[in-house]
């Protein structure tokens, strides 16, 4: 297998984003549905949803527990918010899939998992939603990603429309190996998962790898230690989801998402310091980075 290609915003033009020409209303830039949160991490859905909008998605819907829905709706007035029943874990259970079915059918991109910590309930919810998908691309994160059975027909039906975003600990669970084995060979683990799930895999780390189902790989080295902070992965999931909604392919959305996320971290590290910037501060950097890439002819 060939070595991964190095990738950054400077050379990402090979992954074309959909043109903004003629996108005169919000519907033309796609609709994102973000599903997640719970009693422990209710704010993860907020970070992911706002990141999707910052990446240019036109419409946003957020689904979370009934207990958190009102607060989330006030915090994100740009979004439609759906409150769903909780499982015993205090997170969303699979029973919410039926209520979400028409929203899944209408969505261009669905992000499931931010803020979810119970793999059993999150995985069951994700599978039921995937079964309701018609044309939407899916991104699975956190417990929704580790709780899914990748042999299930509903996953197989999404071949070519699925993105997974594990860090080393999640990859270890997914591949059934010690974390040290992932840290020793993150690219090999990502290739194995991408092939098995027929998904684009973003293997997160100080060097992040973007891997396609056929084994092609790209490496992004940002060296920004401050990106290893709470909520950073939720922002990355939202940026990728927003680009998927705009019509980018899973591979292009993942590559752009990783590069934008890394560049945003680099800006904050220079302005604030290498450590201590917050995941929410990444959000404001995304639009100007996209605009700069557009001016350079990359987007």
DSSP letter (8 states) at residue 86: B
Find, among 277, 279, 299, 278, the residue nearest to 288 by Cα.
299
List pLDDT tens digits, range 49-105.
Answer: 999 999 999 999 999 999 999 999 999 999 999 999 988 778 888 888 999 999 999
User: In degrees, to the nearest 5, what angle opens at C-alpha 13 toward C-alphas 214 and 259?
Assistant: 75
Number of domains within the chain = 1
For residue 24, pLDDT over 80 is answered with: no
* Interatomic CA distance for residues 260 and 254, integer angstroms: 10
CATH number, domain with residue 106? 3.40.1190.20
Q: Is residue 55 included in any domain, yes or no?
A: yes
214 neighbors 232 (Cβ within 8 angstroms): no
Q: How far is CA 223 from the centre of its chain?
A: 21
Helices (H) and strands (E) in the chain, counts: 13, 10
Q: Is residue 277 included in any domain, yes or no?
A: yes
- Three-state DSSP at 215 gives coil
pLDDT band for 16, please (50, 70, 90 cuts).
confident
What's the predicted TM-score (pTM) here? 0.96
Find, among 249, 135, 251, 236, the residue nearest to 201 by Cα.
251
Q: Is residue 219 included in any domain, yes or no?
A: no
Q: What distance, in Å, lies between the first and last C-alpha atoms of the chain?
A: 29
* Interatomic CA distance for residues 280 and 299, integer angstroms: 24
Q: Is residue 17 included in any domain, yes or no?
A: no
Query: Alpha carbon of 169 to those of 131, 149, 180, 204: distances in Å?
Result: 27, 18, 9, 10
Q: Would you state the pLDDT for residue 93? A: 83
Q: Is residue 2 included in any domain, yes or no?
A: no
Find, among 199, 249, 217, 296, the residue nearest to 15 by Cα.
249
Q: Would you state the pLDDT for residue 23? A: 57
Q: Is residue 180 included in any domain, yes or no?
A: yes
Q: Is residue 5 included in any domain, yes or no?
A: no
Q: Could you list the residue range(s) of the whole structural domain that residue 187 is in?
A: 26-208+226-294
38 neighbors 92 (Cβ within 8 angstroms): yes
């Amino acid at each position: 297998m060939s070595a991964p290609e190095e990738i950054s915003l400077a050379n990402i033009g090979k992954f074309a984003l959909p043109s903004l020409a003629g996108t005169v209303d919000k519907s033309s830039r796609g609709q994102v549905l973000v599903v997640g949160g719970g009693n422990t991490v209710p704010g993860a859905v907020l970070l992911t949803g706002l990141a999707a909008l910052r990446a240019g998605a036109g419409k946003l819907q957020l689904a979370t527990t009934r207990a958190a829905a009102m607060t989330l709706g006030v915090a994100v007035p740009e979004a439609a918010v759906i409150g769903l029943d909780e499982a015993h874990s205090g997170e969303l259970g699979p029973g919410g899939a039926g209520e979400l079915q028409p929203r899944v059918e209408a969505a261009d991109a669905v992000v499931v998992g931010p803020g979810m910590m119970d793999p059993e309930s999150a995985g069951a919810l994700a599978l039921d939603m995937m079964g309701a998908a018609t044309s939407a691309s899916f991104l699975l994160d956190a417990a929704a990603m580790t709780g899914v059975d990748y042999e299930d027909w509903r996953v197989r039906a999404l071949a070519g429309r699925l993105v997974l975003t594990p860090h080393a600990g999640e990859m270890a669970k997914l591949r059934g190996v010690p974390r040290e084995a992932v840290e020793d060979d993150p690219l090999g683990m990502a290739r194995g998962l991408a092939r098995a799930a027929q998904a684009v895999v973003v293997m997160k780390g100080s060097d992040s790898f973007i891997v396609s189902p056929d084994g092609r790989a790209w490496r992004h080295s940002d060296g920004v230690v401050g990106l290893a902070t709470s909520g950073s992965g939720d922002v990355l999931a939202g940026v990728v989801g927003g680009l998927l909604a705009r019509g980018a392919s899973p591979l292009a959305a993942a590559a752009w998402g990783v590069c934008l996320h890394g560049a945003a971290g680099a800006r904050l590290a220079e302005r604030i310091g290498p450590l201590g910037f917050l995941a929410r501060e990444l959000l404001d950097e995304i639009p100007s980075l996209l605009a700069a890439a557009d001016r350079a002819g990359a987007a």
